[in-house]
């Protein structure tokens, strides 16, 4: 039995797509609006792009699974995990960087860079993200590898699925799902390790002492990984993912895409027939219609139909086609990464051009550089401490017994360093003022102490013994680190009644 026949046998629906379904009285053009899923059995393949995919899969998954276990010494009072999202402590740690909640704009910058990198990748080499780096692709690839390991390659799987439920088939399917669930479970497990000290959490998870939330998240991510990578696969790309729809707007004729070079491949015919045609001096294409490019495609499309939404640009069809070209003694890359402009140029007999530097790519690169530069500048110049001030709202000001006007403020100092710091407060802008910090003896030097990696609130009272020039005048809270001399400022207003005329 040939592969096509097998496929038709296994999937009567697939085979009859486009033709009438159950009742025979449906006219040919009234095809159903809804097509049932056609199960895809991608065939294994060897070659350059498959090797690249394996390498990317190994590197990305290794980072994902093992990153939480990398240690990073931050001193006695801080966690020693290199990458940690500490919700209860409200800190984000990334190697030498520590982000406080009010610095989430760094994540905004990171998101802009991520989006622009995606755009740039797209402009240079099409949807390489989809084919190599997208988590859906990586995990689906891993799940497909497990499936092949247990159930055999395309033909074996199709034959088994077409046949009856033998004990061996039950066993194999059971084993496959078990392995899938184990990988999915590990995926969910690795996720929660980013939110707590990894070795401790692993121990707690094993002994049943971990918080309920950890188990819940492992459960959720096990379920989603198992469903998305094991069962939904290419449907995620085709129906759920917005990227294939967006990317059409970002691509142009210079972008590299996995392309069937129809100028070389057509007219297609069998190996023997094309050899005869060539001997006779008649036009003959290199494509021998072996359908290997279709069989290996993880989204089940025929690349020879041109660029299409479902194509994730993984290049496996290139590998498949190259191996066939090698066997029949024709040059490789009948299918290859190519651009629309070069396809046209070749047909017109012009030499191909590779134009990576275009307005589009330069713009994306510039935006990435600008945002990255701003982030780096912000990161390097940010204060080791910070101060913010909130004015009392009720009452806005108070008259004291001797006629002075008092304003109350809540001052919050953030000490981002890992040791206790002392800060000296001075207040400028209000004439003839007396500043008092609640909790410190009156008249004492206005020096406050904040513990390591902490923020602390102080109540500050400012009394003015001279009339303020207006109902509201600017006031500056100036804090100096006693040891290092670095300083930070916060601005607010000093409120007073209108000066009597």
Residues that bind another protein (CB under 8 A): 21-23, 25-27, 30, 32-34, 392-395, 398-403, 406, 408, 438-439, 441-442, 456-457, 459, 461
Q: Which is nearer to another protein, 308 or 410 (CB)?
A: 410
Q: Which is nearer to another protein, 12 or 306 (CB)?
A: 12
Q: How far apart are CA 317 and CA 23, in angstroms?
A: 37
What's the min distance (Å) between Cβ of 401 and another protein?
4
Q: Which is nearer to another protein, 393 or 501 (CB)?
A: 393
The residue written with tokens 């094993």 in the block is: 206
Q: Which is nearer to another protein, 202 or 471 (CB)?
A: 471
Q: How far apart are CA 148 and CA 227, in angstroms?
A: 18
What's the min distance (Å) between Cβ of 395 and another protein?
3
Q: Which is nearer to another protein, 71 or 399 (CB)?
A: 399
What's the min distance (Å) between Cβ of 427 and another protein?
15
Q: How far apart are CA 324 and CA 334, in angstroms?
A: 10
What's the min distance (Å) between Cβ of 95 and another protein?
32
Which H or E run contains 378? helix 359-381
Token pair in block for residue 83: 């990458």
Per-residue exposure over 30-45, b if at least 16 CB sit within 10 Å of its own CB, e if not: eeeeeeebeebbbbeb
Compute the residue count for the chain.
Answer: 501
Q: What is the dihedral of CA 479, 445, 484, 379, to 10 degrees?
A: -20
What's the min distance (Å) between Cβ of 216 and another protein?
20
Q: How far apart are CA 322 and CA 316, in angstroms?
A: 10
Q: Which of 195, 175, 153 is nearest to 46 (CA)?
A: 153
What's the min distance (Å) between Cβ of 409 and another protein?
10
What's the min distance (Å) between Cβ of 405 and another protein?
10
Token pair in block for residue 447: 């020096």
Q: Which is nearer to another protein, 240 or 398 (CB)?
A: 398
Q: Which is nearer to another protein, 253 or 449 (CB)?
A: 449
Q: Which is nearer to another protein, 151 or 436 (CB)?
A: 436
Q: How far apart are CA 441 and CA 188, in angstroms?
A: 54
What's the min distance (Å) between Cβ of 440 and another protein?
9
What's the min distance (Å) between Cβ of 438 and another protein?
5
- CA-to-CA separations, 289 to 17, 271, 295, 310, 321, in angstroms, rounded: 20, 9, 12, 21, 10
DSSP 382-403: --SEEEEEEE--SSS-EE-TTS
| CB proximity list for 318: less than 8 A, separation 6 or greater | 47, 48, 49, 258, 333, 335, 336, 337
The residue written with tokens 């949807």 in the block is: 127
Q: Which is nearer to another protein, 25 or 73 (CB)?
A: 25
What's the min distance (Å) between Cβ of 34 and another protein?
8
Q: Which is nearer to another protein, 245 or 393 (CB)?
A: 393
Per DSSP (E only), the strands in 320-453 are 335-338, 385-391, 398-399, 405-415, 421-428, 433-437, 447-450
What is the three-class DSSP state of 194? coil
């Amino acid at each position: 039995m040939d592969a096509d026949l097998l496929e038709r046998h296994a999937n009567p629906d697939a085979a009859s797509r486009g033709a009438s379904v159950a009742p025979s009285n449906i006219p040919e053009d009234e095809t159903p609006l809804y097509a049932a899923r056609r199960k895809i059995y991608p065939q294994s393949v060897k070659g350059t792009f498959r090797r690249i995919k394996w390498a990317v899969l190994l590197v990305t998954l290794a980072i994902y699974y093992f990153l939480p276990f990398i240690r990073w010494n931050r001193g006695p009072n801080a966690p020693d995990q290199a990458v940690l999202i500490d919700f209860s402590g409200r800190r984000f740690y990334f190697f030498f960087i520590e982000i406080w909640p009010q610095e989430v704009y760094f994540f905004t910058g990171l998101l802009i860079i991520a989006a622009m990198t995606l755009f740039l990748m797209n402009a240079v080499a099409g949807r390489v993200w989809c084919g190599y780096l997208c988590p859906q692709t990586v995990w689906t690839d891993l799940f497909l590898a497990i499936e092949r390991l247990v159930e055999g390659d395309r033909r074996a799987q199709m034959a088994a699925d077409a046949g009856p439920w033998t004990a061996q088939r039950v066993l194999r399917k059971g084993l496959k799902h078990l392995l899938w669930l184990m990988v999915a479970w590990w995926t969910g497990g690795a996720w929660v390790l980013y939110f707590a000290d990894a070795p401790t959490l692993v121990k707690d998870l094993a002994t049943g002492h971990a918080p309920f939330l950890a188990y819940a998240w492992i459960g959720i991510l096990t379920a989603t990984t198992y469903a998305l990578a094991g069962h939904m696969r290419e449907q995620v790309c085709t129906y759920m993912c917005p990227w294939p729809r967006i990317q059409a707007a970002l691509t142009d004729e210079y972008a590299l895409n996995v392309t069937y070079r129809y100028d070389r491949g057509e007219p297609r015919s069998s190996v023997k027939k094309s050899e005869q045609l060539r001997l006779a001096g008649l036009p003959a294409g290199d494509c021998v219609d072996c359908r290997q490019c279709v069989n290996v495609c993880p989204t089940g499309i025929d690349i020879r139909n041109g660029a299409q939404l479902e194509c994730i640009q993984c290049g496996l069809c290139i590998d498949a086609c190259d191996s066939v070209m090698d066997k029949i003694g024709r040059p490789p890359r009948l299918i290859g990464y190519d651009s629309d402009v070069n396809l046209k140029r070749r047909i017109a007999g012009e030499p191909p051009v590779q134009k990576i530097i275009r307005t589009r790519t330069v713009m994306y690169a510039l935006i990435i550089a600008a945002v990255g530069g701003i982030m780096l500048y912000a990161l390097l110049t940010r204060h080791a401490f910070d101060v913010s001030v909130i004015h009392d709202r009720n009452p806005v000001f108070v008259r004291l017994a001797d006629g002075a006007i008092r304003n109350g403020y809540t001052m919050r100092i953030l000490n981002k360093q890992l040791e206790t710091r002392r800060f000296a407060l001075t207040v400028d802008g209000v004439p003839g003022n007396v500043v008092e910090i609640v909790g410190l003896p009156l008249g004492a030097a206005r020096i406050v102490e904040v513990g390591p990696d902490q923020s602390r609130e102080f109540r500050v009272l400012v009394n003015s013994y001279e009339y303020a020039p207006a109902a509201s005048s600017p006031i500056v809270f100036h804090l100096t680190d006693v040891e290092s001399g670095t300083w930070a400022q916060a601005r607010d207003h000093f409120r007073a009644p209108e000066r009597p005329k």
